Structure 1
Amino acid sequence: MKTFNITDEIENKYRNSIQRLFNENIIERIWKKDYTVWNNDPTEISNRLGWLDCTSVTRKAFDEIHSFTDEIISEGISDVLLLGMGGSSLAPEVFGHVFGENGKIKLSVLDSTHPEAVLEKTSNYDPERTLYIVSTKSGGTVETISFMKYFYNSVLNKLGKQKVTRHFAAITDPGSGLEQMAKDLRFRKIFLNDPNIGGRFSALSLFGIVPASLVGVDIEKLFIRADSEVLLSKKSGYEIERNNAALFGILLGMLTEQKKDKLTLIISEKIRPFGAWIEQLVAESTGKNNKGILPVDLEEIMNPEYYGDDRVFVHLKLKGDSKNQTKIEKLIEAGFPLIEFELEDIYDLGKQFFLWEFATSIAGWYMGIQPFDQPNVEQAKVIARKILKDYQESGKLILPEPTYSSDEFNIYSVEKFEKAEEVLSSFLSECVSGKSYVSIQAYINPAPESFALLQNFRAEVLKKYKVATTLGFGPRFLHSTGQLHKGDSGNGLFIQIVDNPEEDAAIPDNPLENNSSVSFGILIKAQAFGDRQALIDNKRKVITVEVKRNIKEFLKNLQI
């Protein structure tokens, strides 16, 4: 770990904090799984520290994982479609993108309830050559179970009762609802994970490593690297300088205390998907009790004048990659704090997964928060469930009245506007550089073209207002940054974009049955407006644009 522009004031506090780490025996207590490091109440801590033992516990399943992988390859399976959200999907996505280019099996993740995304996956995958992995810790995640029911019935209709069971596997906790469903439906394989691991800390558990093996990752090599970081994370006393995870965690907490809470990630192209995993881990772990570290992922790297003084940069670079070096040097010259990690190769991600998990737990200790719970996540879910229940009872989606309406879109805002073109500029005029951030929340199909157009808009916001920007597709981000949006210090401005897709897809009420009382189109709309209300209830600034017609044309013309 290299650090740049750590001021004398911060350096002195840094040394004092390391001394406090010694005095309170924090490293030793964490490894003894002492929940009082973070809170006197053991709830959602004492049963969430299994990630510390991930490498040794998961190793016990290596033979089973290898056998399963060989079996799948021998049967001619060419694709894995993983159905999951958040902690169940983000690490597999990293392995699929970073390691899967030359593997015999390609992995894709479905973590969008937008009907276009569901229908695309339906048409793009041949069930005869696809393994569907249903992955959820709780076994009851609404998105994941909806995917499971939909695809199970779809494959059943195409392949028949005798074949369908061979194309489904599950990863879940023992005793979960999914475990029972998978047994009832005779899934070919059920992997039961250590239940003492929280979802966002599960990269090196079965949730991450089963998909990793399937796409060709040498999991033994990955774990040798991870083990080296595990050993270093136990260093204390005179060896503390070797414990990068602990030192990094202290530094993150300290910089946040200094109002440098926009953790801006600059990552080598080959490993860029790792940023989305970091985003969930840090945001959901630290964004609570009116505090929070905002990870800024995939933001265009600008010249220093476009950044406020709330930024800290983390540069994750593969050895030999100098692509971003000129831009990095400009940021250092401008005085921004920057932390750099150099990876020998892609297998050093084994180290990085554990380093970030340990560092986040240390940052939580420093900030005085409990990093393993997510107290605000349920709010949006409760409201969305109420919207869905009302729909099922009345046959109508009951939404608030828009403050502006035209043939092209509805706008939901606190203030009323005469002209639609004034809406965003007026809303964003409240931005304060060095304090605010703008979160773009797109409840649309996460297609590459839409992503590129939204990235262009995001860059315009950054240039004009000089504030940190984030971009998330709903409902994916609800399982990632959604906690921070409602639990942090309240400096976010949230722009929701919701569309009305031309095609929809029914969600079966039960697998093996054709009855359906709700569709994916209704589900994602309920999730969008459920989150909108949760933001409002937490006194956040939010504006919602519901696009009635062509979403691509809307995005092309989106400007401030």
Structure 2
Amino acid sequence: MGSLSFEASGAARTAVEVHIGTLVADKVASRIAAKDRTLWGPAAESEAAIRLGWVEAAEVSRPLVGQILQLRDELRADGVSRIVLAGMGGSSLAPEVIANTAGVELTVLDSTDPEQVAAALVERLDETALVVSSKSGSTVETDSQRRIFEQAFTAAGLDAASRIIVVTDPGSPMDQASREAGYRAVFNADPNVGGRYSALTAFGLVPTGLAGVDIEALLDDAEEAAEILADDAPENIGLALGAVLGGTSPLRDKVVIIDEGSGIVGFADWAEQLVAESTGKSGTGLLPVVANAGDPETSWNEPDVLLVRLCSPTAELQSVESGANQVVVSGSLGSQLLLWEYATVVAGRLLGINPFDQPDVEAAKVAARGLLEARPETQAPAFTDGAVQVIADAQLLDGAETLEEALRTLLRTLAPNGYLSVQAYLDRFGQAELAGLRPQLAKLAHRPVTFGWGPRFLHSTGQFHKGGPAVGSYLQITADSATDLQVPDRPFSLGQLITAQAAGDAQVLADHGRPVVRLHLTDRRAGTRQLGETVARLGGKG
């Protein structure tokens, strides 16, 4: 099937055999391509009617290519060699994958951590242009980043308006305000595409095209795949992958994704937000677990775990192990983006949910806004161990008095079908080593562990945490910062914002009855080191 290949075994193969005939008979593939809003039931029709533009994104986006390349050349002539993207969720994850896969520099600013934003500000500001991506402009993270950069451009003696490019929906508040502000360019995306399905729209193309990616080749790739994925045939890989994701019985809802030389950098991170936010609702859903080859989850045969292996499209497809519950998928970037979008909505049909809404994402935003406005006293730590304050409900801690004991106590809350979510509200570049805790904790817990950088995960797996099965336990990591940035014309700083976001999400999780332990590092370096040593010590004790 073009540049796409697929093979399944075990429960995954059975799911294909069970569902593929019905999916073909019901003409699901061609109906998706025709933007049939009835595929997900009456309750989803109104949302589906305005969210299926992605199926023709490769074709609809063609006129943008010339405009983007012309602006790229103009910026280069002005001495701009660095593109910074302010965006969250699908607006930032897809561009990061596209740019990294092409080997092109793109600074993705998807954080409110003061240290991460400050680091982006000091690097070659005189050579920088900022792309601000938001469907409406109301996303607090993106709005804050824009304000900070605009102020920095002006303070450096640069014409701020000439350095800001906006991607938004036509007629949005941001569309109007940006044109009135005289920003360098305003690109309108198809309003009938949700953020997490927007990889092949202006949201994915503008920042990457300006950075130097061959976006026309990306669209060529996707357009070729579109014809194949719309075909009502048993060989349709989009239907097969959708059947695997949403049709195992019992449902293998922990989807462990590993990259085995796919050539697509960071694809699993993009797929994670697409699948989790699309399916995690109504008490069901799929939780992607981004892992590496050899990590604990890859060798388990747990009844709720499915393994997805991403391989190179140029290599001969590896055969899956007989009896293993896994799939092997290969394909070029454009085709894979569209494949996973098709498969996700097919899985949504099988799960009986609306794959286009995100009803639980707003709860954490509301809680964060309330905490920003009220500015209550921060919750006192239950105890302090070295450079780590432990904050949690006393009943949950059950007498724990050390960091090691608190971690053991949290791990004991995991159900036989549970998962642990580690959420680090820190600089994902400056403290990347924290992600190394994930496989260590998985080995300790013998349950799947996800790792998310806050606040960006709130726009992806955050939906699953509240709307999916109530089997998660949550480890938050926050920290003091020696750096803070005031948000211009707003009554809060980034430090206050990220603190409110972490506390707000913890509050909503606790309100849902989920166990949450927060580790606050009073010193980032010492606390990170202490946490790593403690987890290693726990592993040594078994």
SS in structure 1 of the partner of residue 484 of structure 2: coil
| Superposed displacement of residue 307, structure 1 | 5.5
User: Residue 380 in 1 paired to residue 374 in 2?
Assistant: no
Corresponding residue number in structure 2 for 1:505: 485
Give the TM-score normalised by the residue count of structure 2: 0.91
Q: 1:468-547, aligned counterparts within 5 Å?
A: 468-509=448-489, 516-547=490-521
SS in structure 1 of the partner of residue 177 of structure 2: helix
User: Residue 149 in 1 paired to residue 147 in 2?
Assistant: yes
| Superposed displacement of residue 496, structure 1 | 0.4
8 A contact 1:279–1:480 mirrored in 2: yes
Q: Which moved more, 1:467-476 or 1:170-179?
A: 170-179
User: Residue 29 in 1 paired to residue 49 in 2?
Assistant: no
Corresponding residue number in structure 2 for 1:513: none
8 A contact 1:287–1:488 mirrored in 2: yes
User: Cα–Cα, structure 1 residues 68 and 476, in superposed 2: closer, same or farther, change >3 Å?
Assistant: same
Provide the rounded CA distance (Å) in 2 between the counterparts of 1:23 and 1:306. Answer: 35
Provide the rounded CA distance (Å) in 2 between the counterparts of 1:151 and 1:3. Answer: 47
Provide the rounded CA distance (Å) in 2 between the counterparts of 1:300 and 1:247. Answer: 24
Aligned amino acid, residue 112 of structure 1? S
Corresponding residue number in structure 2 for 1:38: 40
Corresponding residue number in structure 2 for 1:367: 351
Aligned amino acid, residue 447 of structure 1? F
8 A contact 1:268–1:321 mirrored in 2: no
Provide the rounded CA distance (Å) in 2 between the counterparts of 1:419 and 1:85. Answer: 37
Provide the rounded CA distance (Å) in 2 between the counterparts of 1:339 and 1:98. Answer: 22
**Deviation by residue 1:169-209 (Cα, 9 ceiling, x = unmatched):** 10011122222331232111000111111000000001001
Q: 1:351-500, aligned counterparts within 5 Å?
A: 351-391=335-375, 397-405=376-384, 408-414=387-393, 415=395, 416=397, 417-420=399-402, 421-433=404-416, 435-448=417-430, 450-452=431-433, 454-500=434-480
Corresponding residue number in structure 2 for 1:278: 271
Percent identity of equivalent pairs: 35
User: Cα–Cα, structure 1 residues 250 and 508, in superposed 2: closer, same or farther, change >3 Å?
Assistant: same
Aligned amino acid, residue 381 of structure 1? K
Unaligned stretches of 5+ residues in structure 1 = 392-396, 510-515
Which of 12, 19, 33 aligns to 2:21? It is 19
Corresponding residue number in structure 1 for 2:254: 262
Which of 38, 59, 62 aligns to 2:62? It is 59
User: Residue 2 in 1 paired to residue 6 in 2?
Assistant: yes
**Deviation by residue 1:190-243 (Cα, 9 ceiling, x = unmatched):** 00111111000000001001122223322222222111211011111xxx1331
Provide the rounded CA distance (Å) in 1 between the counterparts of 2:103 and 2:167. Answer: 20
Corresponding residue number in structure 1 for 2:134: 136
Provide the rounded CA distance (Å) in 2 between the counterparts of 1:293 and 1:418. Answer: 33
Provide the rounded CA distance (Å) in 2 between the counterparts of 1:45 and 1:279. Answer: 21
| Superposed displacement of residue 12, structure 1 | 5.8
Provide the rounded CA distance (Å) in 2 between the counterparts of 1:341 and 1:92. Answer: 21
Aligned amino acid, residue 290 of structure 1? G
User: Cα–Cα, structure 1 residues 319 and 47, in superposed 2: closer, same or farther, change >3 Å?
Assistant: closer
Q: 1:77-116, aligned counterparts within 5 Å?
A: 77-101=80-104, 106-116=105-115
| Superposed displacement of residue 65, structure 1 | 1.7
Aligned amino acid, residue 337 of structure 1? N
Aligned amino acid, residue 365 of structure 2? K
RMSD: 2.2
Corresponding residue number in structure 2 for 1:394: none
Which of 70, 73, 93 aligns to 1:70? It is 73
User: Residue 317 in 1 paired to residue 311 in 2?
Assistant: yes
SS in structure 1 of the partner of residue 309 of structure 2: strand
SS in structure 1 of the partner of residue 414 of structure 2: coil
Give the TM-score normalised by the residue count of structure 1: 0.88
User: Cα–Cα, structure 1 residues 130 and 387, in superposed 2: closer, same or farther, change >3 Å?
Assistant: same
8 A contact 1:266–1:315 mirrored in 2: yes
Corresponding residue number in structure 1 for 2:198: 202
Provide the rounded CA distance (Å) in 2 between the counterparts of 1:423 and 1:321. Answer: 46
| Superposed displacement of residue 292, structure 1 | 1.1
User: Cα–Cα, structure 1 residues 463 and 13, in superposed 2: closer, same or farther, change >3 Å?
Assistant: closer
Aligned amino acid, residue 254 of structure 2? K
Corresponding residue number in structure 2 for 1:512: none
Aligned amino acid, residue 487 of structure 1? G
Corresponding residue number in structure 2 for 1:332: 321
The structure 1 segments of at least 4 consecutive aligned residues displaced by more than 6 Å after TM superposition are none
User: Cα–Cα, structure 1 residues 11 and 498, in superposed 2: closer, same or farther, change >3 Å?
Assistant: closer
| Superposed displacement of residue 530, structure 1 | 0.3
SS in structure 2 of the partner of residue 372 of structure 1: coil
Provide the rounded CA distance (Å) in 2 between the counterparts of 1:144 and 1:307. Answer: 41
8 A contact 1:300–1:459 mirrored in 2: no
Q: Which moved more, 1:538-547 or 1:187-196?
A: 538-547
| Superposed displacement of residue 500, structure 1 | 1.0
User: Residue 552 in 1 paired to residue 528 in 2?
Assistant: yes
Aligned amino acid, residue 531 of structure 1? D
User: Residue 217 in 1 paired to residue 197 in 2?
Assistant: no
Provide the rounded CA distance (Å) in 2 between the counterparts of 1:17 and 1:129. Answer: 53
Provide the rounded CA distance (Å) in 2 between the counterparts of 1:355 and 1:306. Answer: 26
Aligned amino acid, residue 460 of structure 2? S
Q: Which moved more, 1:55-64 or 1:24-33?
A: 24-33
Provide the rounded CA distance (Å) in 1 between the counterparts of 2:144 and 2:448. Answer: 34
Say how many residue pairs are matched: 523
8 A contact 1:90–1:277 mirrored in 2: yes
SS in structure 2 of the partner of residue 89 of structure 1: helix
| Superposed displacement of residue 11, structure 1 | 5.2
SS in structure 1 of the partner of residue 176 of structure 2: helix
Aligned amino acid, residue 340 of structure 1? V
Provide the rounded CA distance (Å) in 2 between the counterparts of 1:88 and 1:253. Answer: 25
SS in structure 1 of the partner of residue 222 of structure 2: helix
